Structure 1
Amino acid sequence: SSFFCSLALLFVKRIERYYKSSGRPLFLRRKNLDPLSLNDLARVSQLAFTELQAKVIDTQQKVKLADIQIEQLNRTKKHAHLTDTEIMTLVDETHMYEGVGRMFILQSKEAIHNQLLEKQKIAEEKIKELEQRKSYLERSVKDAEDNIREMLMARRAQ
Protein backbone atom coordinates (compact mmCIF):
# COMPACT_ATOMS: atom_id res chain seq x y z
CA SER A 1 0.00 0.00 0.00
CA SER A 2 2.80 2.44 0.85
CA PHE A 3 4.48 1.44 -2.41
CA PHE A 4 1.47 2.56 -4.38
CA CYS A 5 1.29 5.80 -2.37
CA SER A 6 4.85 6.63 -3.37
CA LEU A 7 4.04 5.69 -6.96
CA ALA A 8 1.02 7.97 -6.88
CA LEU A 9 3.14 10.87 -5.66
CA LEU A 10 5.73 10.09 -8.33
CA PHE A 11 2.96 10.04 -10.92
CA VAL A 12 1.64 13.40 -9.68
CA LYS A 13 5.16 14.88 -9.91
CA ARG A 14 5.45 13.64 -13.50
CA ILE A 15 2.08 15.17 -14.36
CA GLU A 16 3.13 18.48 -12.83
CA ARG A 17 6.43 18.40 -14.75
CA TYR A 18 4.60 17.61 -18.00
CA TYR A 19 2.16 20.49 -17.60
CA LYS A 20 4.91 22.94 -16.65
CA SER A 21 6.92 22.01 -19.76
CA SER A 22 3.90 22.08 -22.09
CA GLY A 23 2.64 25.46 -20.88
CA ARG A 24 -0.87 24.14 -20.37
CA PRO A 25 -2.78 24.91 -17.17
CA LEU A 26 -2.48 22.20 -14.55
CA PHE A 27 -5.92 20.87 -13.63
CA LEU A 28 -4.60 18.62 -10.87
CA ARG A 29 -2.94 20.33 -7.93
CA ARG A 30 -0.98 18.45 -5.35
CA LYS A 31 -2.90 19.96 -2.45
CA ASN A 32 -6.03 18.32 -3.84
CA LEU A 33 -4.38 14.91 -3.46
CA ASP A 34 -3.20 15.32 0.12
CA PRO A 35 -6.58 14.56 1.75
CA LEU A 36 -6.85 11.28 -0.17
CA SER A 37 -6.56 8.12 1.83
CA LEU A 38 -3.75 5.65 1.34
CA ASN A 39 -6.09 3.33 -0.54
CA ASP A 40 -7.00 6.11 -2.98
CA LEU A 41 -3.33 6.85 -3.61
CA ALA A 42 -2.64 3.15 -4.09
CA ARG A 43 -5.49 2.93 -6.58
CA VAL A 44 -4.20 5.96 -8.48
CA SER A 45 -0.71 4.48 -8.75
CA GLN A 46 -2.08 1.10 -9.84
CA LEU A 47 -4.06 2.86 -12.55
CA ALA A 48 -0.98 4.81 -13.61
CA PHE A 49 1.07 1.61 -13.80
CA THR A 50 -1.65 -0.15 -15.82
CA GLU A 51 -1.98 2.82 -18.18
CA LEU A 52 1.78 2.88 -18.75
CA GLN A 53 1.78 -0.83 -19.59
CA ALA A 54 -1.13 -0.36 -22.00
CA LYS A 55 0.64 2.60 -23.60
CA VAL A 56 3.81 0.55 -24.12
CA ILE A 57 1.88 -2.29 -25.76
CA ASP A 58 -0.13 0.06 -27.98
CA THR A 59 2.94 1.99 -29.06
CA GLN A 60 4.88 -1.19 -29.83
CA GLN A 61 2.03 -2.30 -32.08
CA LYS A 62 2.12 1.06 -33.87
CA VAL A 63 5.89 0.66 -34.40
CA LYS A 64 5.32 -2.78 -35.96
CA LEU A 65 2.60 -1.35 -38.20
CA ALA A 66 4.94 1.45 -39.31
CA ASP A 67 7.61 -1.16 -40.16
CA ILE A 68 5.12 -3.10 -42.27
CA GLN A 69 4.02 0.05 -44.09
CA ILE A 70 7.63 1.07 -44.75
CA GLU A 71 8.38 -2.38 -46.22
CA GLN A 72 5.31 -2.17 -48.43
CA LEU A 73 6.27 1.30 -49.68
CA ASN A 74 9.82 0.13 -50.38
CA ARG A 75 8.42 -2.71 -52.51
CA THR A 76 6.17 -0.26 -54.36
CA LYS A 77 9.11 2.08 -54.97
CA LYS A 78 11.32 -0.76 -56.18
CA HIS A 79 8.59 -2.07 -58.50
CA ALA A 80 8.10 1.39 -60.02
CA HIS A 81 11.86 1.79 -60.47
CA LEU A 82 12.25 -1.59 -62.17
CA THR A 83 9.27 -0.92 -64.43
CA ASP A 84 10.67 2.49 -65.35
CA THR A 85 14.10 1.00 -66.08
CA GLU A 86 12.51 -1.56 -68.37
CA ILE A 87 10.36 1.03 -70.14
CA MET A 88 13.32 3.32 -70.80
CA THR A 89 15.01 0.57 -72.84
CA LEU A 90 12.15 0.63 -75.37
CA VAL A 91 12.04 2.91 -78.39
CA ASP A 92 10.02 6.13 -78.06
CA GLU A 93 7.35 5.09 -80.58
CA THR A 94 6.38 1.94 -78.66
CA HIS A 95 2.65 1.78 -77.86
CA MET A 96 2.11 1.50 -74.11
CA TYR A 97 -1.09 0.88 -72.27
CA GLU A 98 -1.91 1.77 -68.71
CA GLY A 99 -4.30 -0.50 -66.84
CA VAL A 100 -7.23 1.39 -65.35
CA GLY A 101 -9.79 -0.86 -63.74
CA ARG A 102 -10.86 -3.37 -66.38
CA MET A 103 -9.66 -1.35 -69.34
CA PHE A 104 -6.37 -0.18 -70.81
CA ILE A 105 -5.60 3.36 -71.92
CA LEU A 106 -3.04 4.17 -74.61
CA GLN A 107 -0.31 6.38 -73.11
CA SER A 108 2.94 7.79 -74.40
CA LYS A 109 6.22 6.48 -73.07
CA GLU A 110 6.95 9.88 -71.49
CA ALA A 111 3.59 9.97 -69.65
CA ILE A 112 4.13 6.52 -68.15
CA HIS A 113 7.73 7.44 -67.27
CA ASN A 114 6.49 10.56 -65.44
CA GLN A 115 3.81 8.57 -63.60
CA LEU A 116 6.38 6.03 -62.42
CA LEU A 117 8.75 8.78 -61.25
CA GLU A 118 5.88 10.44 -59.37
CA LYS A 119 4.97 7.11 -57.78
CA GLN A 120 8.57 6.68 -56.59
CA LYS A 121 8.66 10.24 -55.24
CA ILE A 122 5.40 9.82 -53.31
CA ALA A 123 6.57 6.50 -51.87
CA GLU A 124 9.85 8.09 -50.75
CA GLU A 125 8.01 10.97 -49.03
CA LYS A 126 5.68 8.57 -47.23
CA ILE A 127 8.65 6.45 -46.14
CA LYS A 128 10.32 9.54 -44.63
CA GLU A 129 7.12 10.46 -42.78
CA LEU A 130 6.71 6.92 -41.46
CA GLU A 131 10.33 6.75 -40.33
CA GLN A 132 9.92 10.01 -38.41
CA ARG A 133 6.73 8.71 -36.83
CA LYS A 134 8.43 5.42 -36.03
CA SER A 135 11.36 7.16 -34.30
CA TYR A 136 8.89 9.24 -32.27
CA LEU A 137 7.00 6.09 -31.28
CA GLU A 138 10.23 4.32 -30.33
CA ARG A 139 11.18 7.26 -28.08
CA SER A 140 7.71 7.11 -26.57
CA VAL A 141 8.10 3.38 -25.85
CA LYS A 142 11.50 3.99 -24.28
CA ASP A 143 10.12 6.78 -22.08
CA ALA A 144 7.19 4.65 -20.94
CA GLU A 145 9.49 1.70 -20.20
CA ASP A 146 11.76 4.03 -18.21
CA ASN A 147 8.74 5.23 -16.23
CA ILE A 148 7.74 1.64 -15.48
CA ARG A 149 11.30 0.83 -14.37
CA GLU A 150 11.31 3.92 -12.17
CA MET A 151 8.06 2.83 -10.54
CA LEU A 152 9.45 -0.64 -9.90
CA MET A 153 12.68 0.80 -8.49
CA ALA A 154 10.64 2.99 -6.15
CA ARG A 155 8.84 -0.12 -4.96
CA ARG A 156 12.11 -1.98 -4.33
CA ALA A 157 13.51 1.01 -2.46
CA GLN A 158 10.76 0.75 0.13
Structure 2
Amino acid sequence: MSIPNEALQKLVQEIETQAIQAQQQINTVKSQIGLKQREIRMLQLTSSEVSTLPSDTPVYEGVGKMFVFSPIAEVDKRLTTETSELKTDVENLGKKLLYLETTHKNSREHIDQIFNSGGRG
Protein backbone atom coordinates (compact mmCIF):
# COMPACT_ATOMS: atom_id res chain seq x y z
CA MET A 1 0.00 0.00 0.00
CA SER A 2 1.38 3.33 -1.03
CA ILE A 3 0.71 6.76 0.42
CA PRO A 4 -0.52 9.29 -2.19
CA ASN A 5 2.05 11.97 -3.09
CA GLU A 6 -0.14 14.85 -1.87
CA ALA A 7 -0.70 13.23 1.52
CA LEU A 8 2.99 12.44 1.78
CA GLN A 9 3.98 16.03 0.98
CA LYS A 10 1.49 17.36 3.53
CA LEU A 11 2.79 14.96 6.18
CA VAL A 12 6.43 15.89 5.52
CA GLN A 13 5.53 19.58 5.59
CA GLU A 14 3.76 19.24 8.96
CA ILE A 15 6.65 17.31 10.46
CA GLU A 16 9.15 19.83 9.06
CA THR A 17 7.12 22.70 10.57
CA GLN A 18 7.13 20.93 13.92
CA ALA A 19 10.91 20.44 13.71
CA ILE A 20 11.49 24.10 12.84
CA GLN A 21 9.28 25.27 15.71
CA ALA A 22 11.07 22.94 18.11
CA GLN A 23 14.46 24.28 16.95
CA GLN A 24 13.32 27.88 17.47
CA GLN A 25 12.03 27.05 20.94
CA ILE A 26 15.30 25.24 21.73
CA ASN A 27 17.23 28.40 20.90
CA THR A 28 14.90 30.50 23.05
CA VAL A 29 15.16 28.14 26.03
CA LYS A 30 18.97 28.00 25.75
CA SER A 31 19.03 31.79 25.77
CA GLN A 32 16.76 31.90 28.85
CA ILE A 33 18.95 29.36 30.64
CA GLY A 34 22.05 31.44 29.89
CA LEU A 35 20.42 34.61 31.22
CA LYS A 36 19.25 32.93 34.41
CA GLN A 37 22.69 31.37 34.98
CA ARG A 38 24.27 34.83 34.65
CA GLU A 39 21.75 36.20 37.16
CA ILE A 40 22.58 33.36 39.56
CA ARG A 41 26.28 34.13 39.22
CA MET A 42 25.68 37.84 39.91
CA LEU A 43 23.61 37.01 42.99
CA GLN A 44 26.28 34.60 44.23
CA LEU A 45 29.00 37.22 43.75
CA THR A 46 26.91 39.83 45.56
CA SER A 47 26.19 37.38 48.38
CA SER A 48 29.86 36.53 48.79
CA GLU A 49 30.74 40.23 48.94
CA VAL A 50 28.01 40.96 51.49
CA SER A 51 29.07 38.00 53.64
CA THR A 52 32.58 39.48 54.03
CA LEU A 53 31.21 42.71 55.55
CA PRO A 54 31.03 43.20 59.33
CA SER A 55 27.48 42.75 60.63
CA ASP A 56 27.17 46.41 61.65
CA THR A 57 28.00 47.73 58.15
CA PRO A 58 25.16 49.77 56.68
CA VAL A 59 23.96 48.21 53.41
CA TYR A 60 21.77 49.99 50.88
CA GLU A 61 19.76 48.45 48.06
CA GLY A 62 18.68 50.26 44.93
CA VAL A 63 14.95 50.83 44.60
CA GLY A 64 14.18 52.72 41.43
CA LYS A 65 16.28 55.88 41.55
CA MET A 66 16.94 55.78 45.29
CA PHE A 67 18.73 53.62 47.79
CA VAL A 68 17.10 52.16 50.89
CA PHE A 69 18.87 50.89 54.00
CA SER A 70 18.53 47.14 54.50
CA PRO A 71 20.05 45.01 57.26
CA ILE A 72 22.68 42.57 56.01
CA ALA A 73 20.59 39.59 57.19
CA GLU A 74 17.64 40.70 55.04
CA VAL A 75 19.85 41.31 52.01
CA ASP A 76 21.45 37.89 52.39
CA LYS A 77 18.04 36.24 52.82
CA ARG A 78 16.73 37.94 49.67
CA LEU A 79 19.82 36.94 47.69
CA THR A 80 19.49 33.33 48.83
CA THR A 81 15.79 33.22 47.97
CA GLU A 82 16.32 34.72 44.51
CA THR A 83 19.19 32.33 43.81
CA SER A 84 17.04 29.36 44.83
CA GLU A 85 14.16 30.50 42.61
CA LEU A 86 16.49 31.00 39.66
CA LYS A 87 18.02 27.54 40.13
CA THR A 88 14.51 26.05 40.07
CA ASP A 89 13.76 28.02 36.90
CA VAL A 90 16.96 26.74 35.27
CA GLU A 91 16.08 23.17 36.25
CA ASN A 92 12.59 23.52 34.74
CA LEU A 93 14.01 25.09 31.59
CA GLY A 94 16.45 22.17 31.36
CA LYS A 95 13.51 19.75 31.39
CA LYS A 96 11.76 21.80 28.72
CA LEU A 97 14.95 21.84 26.64
CA LEU A 98 15.23 18.05 26.86
CA TYR A 99 11.60 17.69 25.72
CA LEU A 100 12.13 20.07 22.79
CA GLU A 101 15.36 18.37 21.72
CA THR A 102 13.58 15.00 21.79
CA THR A 103 10.69 16.42 19.74
CA HIS A 104 13.14 17.86 17.20
CA LYS A 105 15.07 14.60 16.97
CA ASN A 106 11.88 12.55 16.55
CA SER A 107 10.62 14.90 13.83
CA ARG A 108 13.88 14.52 11.93
CA GLU A 109 13.78 10.74 12.31
CA HIS A 110 10.22 10.62 10.99
CA ILE A 111 11.19 12.67 7.94
CA ASP A 112 14.15 10.36 7.31
CA GLN A 113 11.89 7.30 7.63
CA ILE A 114 9.44 8.73 5.12
CA PHE A 115 12.18 9.47 2.59
CA ASN A 116 13.94 6.15 3.16
CA SER A 117 10.72 4.20 2.66
CA GLY A 118 10.06 6.13 -0.53
CA GLY A 119 6.51 6.86 0.51
CA ARG A 120 5.58 3.20 0.81
CA GLY A 121 3.20 2.61 3.69
Whether 2:87 is the aligned partner of 1:121: answer no
Deviation string, structure 1 residues 101-144 (Cα, Å, up to 9, x no partner): 11211100000000110111011000000000000011101111
CA contact (8 A) 2:8 2:119 kept: no
Q: Higher RCO, 1 or 2 (CA under 8 Å, sep at least 6)?
A: 2
Look up the equivalent residue of 1:140 and give its one-letter code. Answer: T
Which residue matches 1:87? 50
Look up the equivalent residue of 2:114 and give its one-letter code. Answer: M
1:112 to 75, 99, 107: 75
Alignment of 1:7-156 (within 5 A): 8=3, 41-155=4-118
Give TM-score scaled by structure 1 length.
0.72
Q: What is the deviation of 1:44?
A: 2.0
| Structure 1 stretches of at least 4 aligned residues deviating more than 3 Å after TM superposition | none
Q: What percent identity do the matched residue pairs reach?
A: 24
Q: What is the deviation of 1:156?
A: 7.7
Gaps of 5+ in 1: 9-40
Look up the equivalent residue of 1:48 and give its one-letter code. Answer: L
Determine the C-alpha separation between the residues in 2 that align with 1:92 and 1:144: 57
Give TM-score scaled by structure 2 length.
0.93
Determine the C-alpha separation between the residues in 2 that align with 1:147 and 1:95: 62
Determine the C-alpha separation between the residues in 1 that align with 2:67 and 2:11: 58
What root-mean-square deviation, in Å, do the aligned CA atoms of Structure 1 and Structure 2 show? 1.7
Determine the C-alpha separation between the residues in 1 that align with 2:58 and 2:14: 60
Gaps of 5+ in 2: none
Determine the C-alpha separation between the residues in 1 that align with 2:64 and 2:27: 32
